[in-house]
Structure 1
């Protein structure tokens, strides 16, 4: 039996076993993929790419 989303019934399963948490349900590789994604998102934008974006913004204004 799947756990109910928060606020949609039941405080646990009828057997008294607490519902599974996200970490117990997701596959093992998901944490590694999430960590990789977060490192990419946190990387700064290279100056050359930032310059290109500024030039494109300026050309849209004119």
Structure 2
């Protein structure tokens, strides 16, 4: 029987799965570039209206005015 820490397939270092979650790797950099673009976009009025309605419903549920 092979001990888990002696298994040659597991090896050390960055496996492809770990590299995919590396924030400084290619996937992380691409996600950050997408996020940076979205972050600068204005919030759509429909979403702001929906959030206002939600706030209003919460105030009414809590007995606020």
TM-score (norm 1): 0.47
TM-score (norm 2): 0.46
Whichever structure has more helix as a proportion of its residues is 2
Say which one has the larger Rg. Answer: 2
